[in-house]
Structure 1
């Protein structure tokens, strides 16, 4: 009896501990569900049932004089004649930070090499790096900032491709970089048929992209905006998140549809419409791709999904992927190797013909219809 009693007390103690553990896990998961799942449900409900984006546009519309404060910065580095007397297919802006010189050099040597593009692809593409003013820590002396700016001036004198305005280069000023790009195009390269914005850790398969844009241009397509589309995304209200947005900054339950800021392309007419939208919209929302969605929504333009524009992670390394690739995200050290592999003539040899197409269909199904790769290309890309 004594042993049974002790055994019973021990079992009850274990049950109590197990119950407390389960409740703790449930509470943590419930908080995560409330922050993610429930917020997405509310966002989709707002988007499809209420659809009050017209109210969003009205709430963010401000006088032109006030809107001008988001674009009226002095240029520290500029090349306003970059597009003069050139038939520019694509004006490509790379968002970069002052210290990322190695990334810029890697892009200049690979997919962003204008000379290669002109000679090998037969088109003019202008690649510009956009950045803000150097930001220093409080304990750093003033001469450190001056030395950093001097290095940028030297880099620009060598390559002639930096566009810099006098606002602090920081995550919270990304929207100012976005506005800079559309204003620069409007004033200095309005005739470029397409505009692309990309991060400096993006890989762009330039031969594929150029071929695609040439086809689009020949068909006279308008209202063109492609990339990795986010639909019904809710604002993040978690203050610990990098993307936290307060109710004061954005009070609505859902963002208008937008493309991931890592890389997207718009046609000339869309670029012009977005430019005019920036003249009357409050740009204090510092998430630049969301602000792009707000601008586009204000002028009646919707994003279109392109399955070979990458999500958050790197695309799988395989010739069958390279054959259709447009962008891939998260490349710094491996950009040289990827450029060499993705543009090698052997890629087209292995993927052409009936045998190559059947082989690639099977490979892409295995690589893309895989839950571990859902943030690169979607499964449906395997069937296109």
Structure 2
């Protein structure tokens, strides 16, 4: 009996020591646990318990006069005739920064080459670059002169007089939808993408052509974030204060790196911007808020990437639409991704099985969550 008591006390003592160790670790790491686990649990619970996010729109509603102030910057560079008298399948807005000359050159010579698209794919895609002004005044003067020369040569820059910074990305979004409404409302589809995104234009064109034949409406496709929580850590680039957004979860939205909407959705989003407070500087989230007012929901497309690069492999290239993080290798990726042999790699039963196995190995890993999902391996 005495021995049993000693064993019980020893076991209890070990349990207490173990619990103290766990609590100590939690106290040290609580900040990380709270923001990376608890906030996501809260966010997902919140998203699926509420029936809609209509109350957010009511909270952010402003008068048309107030809403107009967020995007009422004069144009410094513009070309109102880009779409005039043309049957535009896709208007593609590339979010660029004034000093990113090399990126724009690479895009024009690869996936954004309008002549290639028209001659090889038989459709009209208009590619334009949206930007503000360089935030550094001494650099701004020199860069602005170079931008004027670039615009004279290509005529594809759309620039307004606001500082081109991270916190003005929503202003850039307003620019895109306003410009589309005024100058290219007849485009059947609108896409917005970052200038470090690679777009497989042949695959994208074939996909939206199929959608066009089906006369789709209310289309908004991309890499969807559902139940994402606001980040409350002040040292984060994406910090969101309670004063600006007090709710536990953002509405569903697509990653701003690249998404596509149908022409009717572009018109609805523009109308939504005319009555909302656009001080929300995370443009992806603001797009989600506008979509609530427009009555549109984002649809997941497994070959639109999030923030990460997609794996390099012909089996991936065959169906890829976008891949993020390509500042220096656009020309290489364009060459290998559009090579004729890519379309033959999965032909036949063996080819299909081979590519499925390859994609499972490349995509079905936890750390690939911000590129293509594992589901892409089976489509």
Q: How many Å apart are 1:23 and its aligned residue?
A: 5.6
Q: Is the 8 A contact 1:46 1:52 kept in 2?
A: no
Task: Tell me the alpha carbon deviations over residues 334-380 of structure 1, each in whole angstroms, 9 at most, x when there is no partner.
Answer: 11110000000011122222221121111111111123322211111
**CA–CA separation in structure 2 for the residues paired with 1:217 and 1:50:** 34
SS of the residue 1:351 aligns to: coil
Give matches, 1:165-314, under 5 Å.
Answer: 165-314=160-309
TM-score under structure 2 normalisation? 0.93
For structure 1, the 5+ residue unaligned runs are: 1-17
Task: Tell me the alpha carbon deviations over residues 181-227 of structure 1, each in whole angstroms, 9 at most, x when there is no partner.
Answer: 00111100000000000001100000000000000000001000000
**CA–CA separation in structure 2 for the residues paired with 1:257 and 1:61:** 19
Task: Tell me the alpha carbon deviations over residues 265-285 of structure 1, each in whole angstroms, 9 at most, x when there is no partner.
Answer: 000000000000000000000
Out of 320, 329, 348, the position equivalent to 1:325 is: 320
**CA–CA separation in structure 2 for the residues paired with 1:187 and 1:214:** 24
For the pair 1:163 / 2:158, whether they are aligned, the reply is yes
Task: Tell me the alpha carbon deviations over residues 140-187 of structure 1, each in whole angstroms, 9 at most, x when there is no partner.
Answer: 64xx42221101101111111100001111000000000100011110
Give matches, 1:315-354, under 5 Å.
Answer: 315-354=310-349
SS of the residue 1:220 aligns to: coil
Tell me what 1:116 maps to.
116
**CA–CA separation in structure 1 for the residues paired with 2:164 and 2:21:** 46
What is the aligned-residue RMSD (CA, Å)?
1.6
Tell me what 1:154 maps to.
149
For the pair 1:383 / 2:378, whether they are aligned, the reply is yes
Q: Is the 8 A contact 1:201 1:330 kept in 2?
A: yes
**CA–CA separation in structure 1 for the residues paired with 2:168 and 2:370:** 26
Q: How many Å apart are 1:20 and its aligned residue?
A: 9.1
SS of the residue 2:92 aligns to: strand
**CA–CA separation in structure 1 for the residues paired with 2:52 and 2:302:** 28
Q: How many Å apart are 1:27 and its aligned residue?
A: 2.2
Tell me what 1:8 maps to.
none
Tell me what 1:33 maps to.
33
Task: Tell me the alpha carbon deviations over residues 277-328 of structure 1, each in whole angstroms, 9 at most, x when there is no partner.
Answer: 0000000000001000000011110000000001221111111100010001
Runs of 4+ in 1 over 4 A off after TM superposition: 18-24
Tell me what 1:45 maps to.
45
Tell me what 2:357 maps to.
362
Give matches, 1:103-142, under 5 Å.
Answer: 103-136=103-136, 141=138
SS of the residue 2:345 aligns to: helix
Tell me what 1:102 maps to.
102
**CA–CA separation in structure 1 for the residues paired with 2:302 and 2:360:** 14
Q: How many Å apart are 1:33 and its aligned residue?
A: 1.6
**CA–CA separation in structure 2 for the residues paired with 1:369 and 1:147:** 47
Tell me what 1:372 maps to.
367
